[in-house]
Structure 1
Amino acid sequence: MTENTQQSPDSGPTNSNPELPTQYAPAEVEGPLYERWVERGYFEADASSDKEPYTIVIPPPNVTGSLHLGHAFEHTLIDALTRRKRMQGFEVLWQPGMDHAGIATQNVVERELAKEGKSRHDLGREAFVERVWQWKAESGGQISGQMRRLGDGVAWSRERFTMDEGLSKAVQTIFKKLYDDELIYRAERIINWCPRCLTAISDIEVEYQNDEGELVSIRYGEGDASIVVATTRAETMLGDTAVAVHPEDERYKHLVGTEIELPLTGRRIPVVADEHVDPEFGTGAVKVTPAHDPNDFEIGQRHNLPSLTVLDERAVITAHGPFQGLDRLEARSAIVAALRADGRIVAEKRPYEHSVGHCSRCKTTIEPRLSMQWWVKVGPLAETASKAVRDGDVAIHPKEMESRYFGWVDNLHDWCISRQLWWGHRIPVWYGPNGEMVCVGPDDEAPSGEGWHQETDVLDTWFSSGLWPFSTLGWPEKTESVEKFYPNSVLVTGYDILFFWVVRMMMFGTYAMDGTPPFHTIALHGMVRDQFGKKMSKSFGNAVNPLDWMDKYGSDAVRFTLARGANPGVDVPIGEDWVQGSRNFANKIWNATRFAMMNGATVEGDLPSVEQMSATDRWIMSRLNATVAEVDAFYDDYQFAKLSDTLFHFAWDEVFDWYVELSKTTFIAGGEQAKVSARVLGEVLDVTLKLLHPVVPFVTETLWTTLTGKESVVIADWPKDSGFRDEAAEQEIASLQQVITEVRRFRSDQGLQPGQRVPAQLDLNGTVLAAHEGAIRQLLRLQPAGDGFHATATLPVAGATVALDLSGTIDVEAERKRLTKALAAAEKDKAQSTAKLGNEAFLAKAAEAAVAKIRKRLETAEADIERLTAQLAGLPKA
């Protein structure tokens, strides 16, 4: 409903706005606007304020990272929440910062050194760490600039880094507290080991993929005293210290407690019974290598088995014999060949596809390895983290994600927190010449003297990021910010790091902050995927750089697309055509607002009374207040997709495509009613732009400041639902919309051009539509019926009758054939749908959605039959 949008200067109230260009150019608007917001301090947080606090931390991106669609998605949701809360009068802190990303950052700098023909060992630890700091200053943190492009309203003056002096003090403080409480200890356990990065890595840094390998079945022992085991890692058999079977497996009961010979080694190993073994899988017997498999390690602990390490830190065979010095893959082939020559191979399967863990940084195959490491005893910490949710102190949204949370937190194993790196928080433990071990707090003096040295390992990155909600506020000091902004109001993050980050923050928060959890609510979202629902990846060729889309369509378009797909806890498909659609929406907001302002929309003066408003005015004010209420409810329930969709349809359909169009006749007529509608239109635009602002901040800021003349919509008051509803006006305009929609469809069906004028008689007497004859005629291009008027089509709709004279405008016979064919198709659809709905067998078996679809099809067919029959009856007689 955008035709005939130009209006003569004397046709009604005007408000010319030369400051507003005819077209919206995001590239020219967004950058300067953002810097103005930052310069004016809109996003800063005042800990001394008496306003109610609203706190959200940014899930700290890696210092090595750049903005990807996942970041853009998450940041859009957080920014929308914080912008709305700021407008609602809260003291908002959106805490920014970056993670030092131990392995990733060290790898980046090591690659830079390699270009110079050097390694970190050439520099030494101190010089290498200095080199990393230098890299950070020069190249790290490019994501901060990209966040500005997106429009992130973060408190930049409070930006933190997990290796900051203050955060380092927090790390040392909590390590000392945990150590003193005997919740940190040192022990030899199985960990994920990267032979390339030469460090233990966390579970989240292991990527699993299906690799092609081989499955070989090997006979241990001789004759009746033999057992066949299958393995994909023949090289680890050199470290076997037992074979395990299930206690109830009758096939092997006679062997339990005996010893059999381990091929190629000359060693004899016991056969043990363990309930961990699945008797239905394979041969029902497994080789036990405690030093190179986590499950085998547990079996070894239960049966007091020795742990033999046969692979060094670079995954090279250390066991004495012909395989010593071979890489694990070389050794695998050599050992299988030796076993085959010895007659020990019972079966071989190649290729054998199975899931294999790889280092997410360097893609090297991970090696489970027995290693002396530092651990957190998570039992007591996990118990409090679980209790906080079960007691209702922390809400998880959506609620169905609670089970996933409990699945993690209630089954946690002790956490390996040490990493064999140089970049990171060095573990604050000193070793003495006589076996002493001293943990040093931030205010303690480290031991010195001959023979004393500090632990060389650093802490897992997740250790410091687990303190993020309070370390960023100045803890362990009792700062004003800690008092004001802890706990966080909500954590917005992906369900994929529920265990790795969220659970750790919950454990550390409740532990360090006297039992107070770090958040009131954990709002979990899904992952961004391509338009076909496939995971985005460079290797798949479907990865998207959001900056490219921002350059092409504007940041608002990217943000609106992401928010409109954000259903709680559900993955988000996104395609470029959807971003194009959002760009069109931004242009629609611009063009329609600009037109409305040119035609008198104003915020000056008081809002007219209800008695002064027309039915159209009362309708849009009723819908406006209902929309405010809906949007608020969706925000409070983190339903970003629903609130975005509500705003889209209200702004585009109801405000721009209906209210603005219906008001044209009023503006053309001029007078007092035009002034009333101009003020109502200004009010509607004011509120609509405010409602849209948190999701599409740039275009709304430009339009709102031009409309109102005020400083910024960022600091404007959030709209409130006044409670005004007018059902009678809503029903009246619904009838008006029905008439216009039906006649427009009829015109289209008759092949009439949109601008083609047609003589018509309107019978509106006795209906609420009588007052809208001018609007009906203008919007439908219906001219008054003059002399010689002959009604060739009569449309009864919404209690009114519209008679049209189409003489000479259409090919009657061709139109009759077309309508007759369409009517036959509709009648066939009705018959088929009726038959299905009358079939009891179908109704008993069909899904509810399928039945609903058939019912809808029947309704459509019946409506089409009624419409087409009326159109045929209205055609001129032959």
Structure 2
Amino acid sequence: MQKNYDFKQAEKEMQNFWKENSIYSFDIENQSEIYSIDTPPPTVSGSLHIGHIFSYAQAEMIARFKRMQGYNVFYPFGFDDNGLPTERLVEKDEGIIAKDLPRSEFIKKCAATSAKYEKEFKDLWQSLGFSVDWSLQYETINPMVQRISQKSFIKFLKDGKAYMKESPVLWCSECQTSIAQAELETIEKDTTFNYVKFKAAEEELIVATTRPELLYGCVCLFVNPKDDRYKRYIGKNAVVPLYDYEIPILADDKVDMDKGTGAVMCATFGDSADAEWCEKYKLPYRKVILPDGKIDESVPLVGGLKILAARRQIIGLLSENGFLLDSQNITHSVAVHERCGREIEILPSKQWYIDILTNKEMFLKAADEINWYPDYMKNRYVSWVENLKWDWCISRQRYFGVPFPIWYCKNCGEVIVASEKMLPVNPLEAKPDKPCYCGCDEFVPESSVFDTWATSSVTPQINAKWDEKDDISNRLLPMSLRTQAHEIIRTWAFYTIVKSLYHTGQIPWKDIMVCGFVLAKKGEKISKSKSNSELSPKLLIENHSADAIRYWAANSKLGTDTFFSIEELGIAKRFITKLWNASKFSISHLQDIKLDAEVNLMPVDRWIIERCKQTAIDARKLLDQYEIGPARHEIDDFFWKDFCDNYLEIVKERLYQPEKHGYKERRSAQYALYYCMLNILKLYAIYVPHITEYIYQEFFRQNEGGISLHKLCWEPEKTVDDEIILFGEKLKGIIAETRKYKSENALSMKTEIEEIVITADDRFIELFKQTINDVKACCRAEKIKIIQ
């Protein structure tokens, strides 16, 4: 082995070796138990950052761990390249607006941009040494995935789970599409609370509102029936200021008596409460806001203005005309679209929905059937399901997505569903293969596309090739593991559970592993849209090594957020140097090892072997709970303290000087050294696959025979010899005391000392007698005295 480890040469060499030898291919013919991973397909919405590395690397380590436990690992990778995120990326990269281009031209640009970014993503994952079977790769816009997604919708339609209705819908005026409740984020925003004078029964009734621009859309005032201030108004009418028309005053228990004045303006539509009240009390709809975020031209005083301009205009007019009592600056919570940050509106629109509200109990029960890691993440899911208020709106008024496989009969309006043999189908480019039952053969194609979550929520079915000719659902579903970030529990986790229960009647996966975020500074998430993502993973790997990045990524408890700075990689690089040097030392003393020779192990050698077994057992327990960080710390503790700091120092002289210590004694040390070094490589293989494989290929492969370290299994020990472990702890204490004595007396560690006195229990006397020469050599002692 060369003096220093060259990661640039070794990592590329190992990656080529794995690829050429198909080390990570899933074997469908293999009858070993399958361990399948539902990997998050990264959204094609920008370049990857260190936060992606953190969570994806943790999941990849589990794939390697399960492979080394003897499982037939199914580890695919996909790319979520359809839908709004990709469209917005194209608009940003190309400096264009989708609606300004012909639909077909914009879709071509989306496809080209997706292909470019997907290559970058794949190159990055491969440079990190991901043990993915790339033959299982999918894209959410590819024909097979489109077919599965369209089949999913058609099945929902036949089962009565999908329906279309015209009703108030969450709307993003920036992206100009409907959105689902799960796509909302809540932010704090500065605004004004305006106290407006309505006239009711010849009196002034003060109403506080943050949305005076919706005054023309006001259809009712609500008060709480228990509010003594307003009981006399209930059932009467009020006059809307500036617009001078009458509206009813009604009572509803949902009115918060302590907010504002306790009298609430209901407009179409200011918020979800307005939409609920309008439906409950059959109130009329008055159009104010258009899908593009402007006020309808027909609205007096503010028609044609954008929302904020209209708000300023109305406030000014209310003030001028004596209708504004007060205007207070406040900070309040508003719902925004997570993709663009624009405040959402609620507009009436005809959309497709999946019924989820009637089956909330079923979705909550499913949470109990899934193992959540860490378990407290289940609470986030439960809270989300319990607080659902809307069915899942799955239609989007966009372009680059999976089309709805439907048309509408021009004559009778009947929904015409594509036949299965037509799938995947784009109704804008094809006609149904038979006329409507009314005899009409003219159709209006559905131009909306599926919400991207409507497709990515069938990733288990995509992986299993559900209802395709090579369907392996019976071997793959439910999958073993879903790995994902905690922010998309409400979307990806929930929607996948919904679709799996509806389509298969079972949960989509047995375990869910929820990773944390990487933060740039306290409380701030690193993201593609923030300037703090400038630390390019590509450059970090090129400058510091993939193994160093991976080692850093395995530092924390599952589900917890962590911080990143380049200085963090210093610990990882010191570890890699230590592993190289320990291996180089070990291998230099193993060139003449005879593995088939009989060996009588010395106590110290028995101890280090048992500690190695104990470490594997403890690490396995943690990794079975997906606790990658704590497992790595267990292995680190053994490697640095027991193996390097103690064992190598104890046996060094025995290895170098067999003529002094005995050739049988040297063989004992060689056996322990070989066993521990090989198993240390196995333990670390999931974290730092390149250097461990490189060392294995340098020496161990010729003895072990296995083509790759990553094809070997961890030792299956279940128990250890506790007595020899206790002996080792006592021995470590003696060495530590000797080092401390020398340090406190300003002596070199090489200084000879006259005598070491060991006090030991009966059970350890014989073990220490056999270890006298090792202790003498390690501690530079002339004499060892053992006292019972």
Scaled by the length of structure 2, the TM-score of the pair is 0.91
The residue number in structure 2 matching 1:581 is 571
What residue identity is the alignment partner of 1:740?
I
Secondary structure at the counterpart of residue 168 of structure 1: helix
CA drift of 1:234 comes to 1.6
Check 1:321–1:288 CA distance in 2 against 1; reply closer, same or farther (3 A cut).
Answer: same
Q: 2:692 aligns with which of 694, 700, 705?
A: 700
Deviation of residue 249 (structure 1)? 1.0
1:678 maps to 670
| Equivalence for 1:517 | 507
* Alpha-carbon distance, 1:411 to partner: 4.0
* Equivalent residue, structure 2, for 1:43: 24
Cα offset, 1:414, TM superposition? 0.3
Q: Give SS of 1:427's match.
A: coil
Taking the TM superposition and a 5 Å limit, the aligned residue runs for 1:246-261 are 246-261=224-239
- 2:99 and 2:516 map into 1 onto residues whose CA distance is 42
What code does the residue aligned with 2:548 have?
A: A
Measured after TM superposition, the shift of residue 99 of structure 1 is 0.6
Instruction: Give the Cα separation in 2 of the matches to 1:247 and 1:83.
Output: 63
Summarize deviations over 1:588-621 as a string: whole Å, max 9, x none.
1111111111122777524855xx1111011011
In the other structure, the counterpart of 2:397 is: 420
- Aligned residue among 453, 464, 469 for 1:462: 453
| 2:635 aligned with 1:643 | no
- CA deviations 1:543-588 (Å, max 9, x no partner) are 74433432332222221222221x2333334443332112211211
2:128 corresponds to: 150
Compared CA separation, residues 454 and 199, structure 1 to 2 (3 A): same
Q: Where does residue 713 of structure 1 map in the other structure?
A: 709
How far is the alpha carbon of 1:80 from its aligned partner? 1.5
Between the aligned partners of 1:482 and 1:285, the Cα distance in structure 2 is 56
Query: Given the alignment, which residue of 718, 733, 743 partners 1:748?
Result: 743
What secondary structure sits across from 1:333 in the alignment?
helix
Contact 2:586 2:673 in 1 (8 A): yes
Alignment-derived partner of residue 268 in structure 2: 290
3-state DSSP of counterpart to 1:399: coil
Distance in 2, matches of 1:696 and 1:316, equals: 55
Select 1:182's aligned residue among 160, 172, 176. 160
CA distance in 2, matches of 1:602, 1:667: 12
Could you tell me how far apart the structure 2 residues matched to 1:555 and 1:112 are?
Answer: 29
Alignment of 1:45-444 (within 5 A): 45-111=26-92, 113-114=94-95, 120-121=98-99, 123-221=101-199, 225-318=203-296, 319-350=298-329, 352-380=330-358, 382-390=360-368, 392=369, 394-412=370-388, 413-434=390-411, 435-443=413-421
Match of 2:325, SS? strand
Pairs aligned (count): 758
Provide closer, same or farther for how the CA distance between residues 569 and 602 of structure 1 changes in structure 2, counting only shifts above 3 A: farther
Aligned to 1:831: none
Question: Does the 8 Å contact 1:172/1:428 carry over to 2?
Answer: yes
Letter in 1 for 2:674: G
Aligned-pair CA distance for 1:300: 1.2
The counterpart of 1:723, out of the listed 706, 714, 719, is 719
| Residues in 2 aligned to 1:798 and 1:695: alpha-carbon distance in whole angstroms | 42
> CA 1:651–1:259 in structure 2 vs 1: closer, same or farther (change >3 Å)?
same
Question: In percent, how many aligned pairs have the same letter?
Answer: 27
Which whole-Å CA distance do the structure 1 matches of 2:225 and 2:687 have between them? 61
Instruction: Pick closer, same or farther for the CA change 1:583–1:523 going to 2, 3 Å.
Output: same
Cα 1:608–1:732 shift into 2, 3 Å: farther
C-alpha contact (below 8 Å) 1:292/1:370 kept by paired residues: no
Contact 1:530/1:573 (8 A) holds in 2: yes
CA RMSD of aligned residues (A): 2.6
Task: Give me the whole-angstrom Cα distance separating, in 1, the residues matched to 2:101 and 2:433.
Answer: 25
Partner of 1:663: 651
CA contact (8 A) 2:48 2:537 kept: yes
Determine if contact 1:63/1:141 at 8 Å carries over to the other structure.
Answer: no
The gaps in structure 1 that reach 5 residues or longer are 1-19, 786-795, 801-878
Say which of 618, 622, 625 aligns to 1:634: 622
CA distance in 1, matches of 2:455, 2:607: 55
CA distance in 1, matches of 2:591, 2:358: 62
Instruction: Name the aligned partner's letter for residue 710 of structure 2.
Output: V
Alpha-carbon deviation of 1:532? 4.6
Deviations 1:298-350 (A, max 9, x none): 01111111122201112111143121111111111110000011111122123
Amino acid at match of 2:515: H
Cα distance between partner residues in 2 of 1:377 and 1:228: 40
Q: What is the CA–CA distance in structure 1 between the aligned matches of 2:321 and 2:520, rounded to whole Å?
A: 52
Residue matched to 2:755? 761
Take 1:549 and 1:66, find their aligned partners in 2: how far apart are those partners? 14
Over 3 Å counting, the alpha-carbon distance change for 1:674 and 1:284 in structure 2 is same
Deviation, structure 1 residue 441: 3.9
* Aligned-partner Cα distance in 2 for 1:456–1:88: 49
Consecutive unaligned residues of structure 2, counting only runs of 5 or more, are 423-431
Tell me which of 605, 627, 635 is aligned to 1:617: 605
Contact 1:277 1:286 in 2 (8 A): yes
Q: Aligned letter for 2:234? A: V
| Secondary structure of the corresponding residue to residue 277 of structure 1 | coil
Secondary structure in structure 2 of the residue aligned to 1:354:
strand
Deviation by residue 1:369-394 (Cα, 9 ceiling, x = unmatched)? 3322111111355443333333x3x2
Q: 1:474 matched to which residue of 2?
A: 465
Supply the distance in 1 between the matched residues of 2:669 and 2:157 (Cα, whole angstroms): 70
Shift of residue 183 of structure 1? 1.3
CA–CA distance in structure 2, aligned partners of residues 132 and 600 of structure 1: 57
- Higher alpha-carbon Rg: 1
Report if the CA contact (8 A) 1:79-1:153 is conserved: yes
Which residue matches 2:426?
A: none
Q: Report if aligned partners of 1:740, 1:780 keep a CA contact under 8 Å in 2.
A: yes
SS of the equivalent of 1:66 reads: coil
Q: Where does residue 790 of structure 1 map in the other structure?
A: none
Residues 1:573 and 1:97: Cα distance change in structure 2 (over 3 Å): same
Q: Matches of 2:484 and 2:75 in 1, distance apart?
A: 14
- Deviation, 1:290, is 3.2
Equivalents in 2 of 1:358, 1:144: separation in Å?
A: 32
Q: Which of 476, 488, 491 is the equivalent residue of 1:497? A: 488
In 2, are the aligned partners of 1:602 and 1:683 still within 8 Å (CA)?
no
CA 1:150–1:255 in 2, change beyond 3 Å: closer, same or farther? same
Mark the CA change 1:354 to 1:101 in structure 2 (over 3 Å): closer, same or farther: farther
Q: CA deviation at 1:208?
A: 3.5
Q: Describe the shift of the 1:275–1:122 C-alpha distance in structure 2 as closer, same or farther (beyond 3 A).
A: closer
- Distance across 1 between alignment mates of 2:484 and 2:531: 25
Counterpart AA for 1:353: T
Question: What are the superposed Cα offsets for residues 684-706 of structure 1, whole Å, 9 maximum, x if unpaired?
Answer: 11111111111221111111222
Residue pair 2:165, 2:351 contacting (<8 A) in 1 also: yes
The answer to which of 132-141 and 333-342 deviates more is 132-141
- In 1, Cα distance between equivalents of 2:565 and 2:595: 44
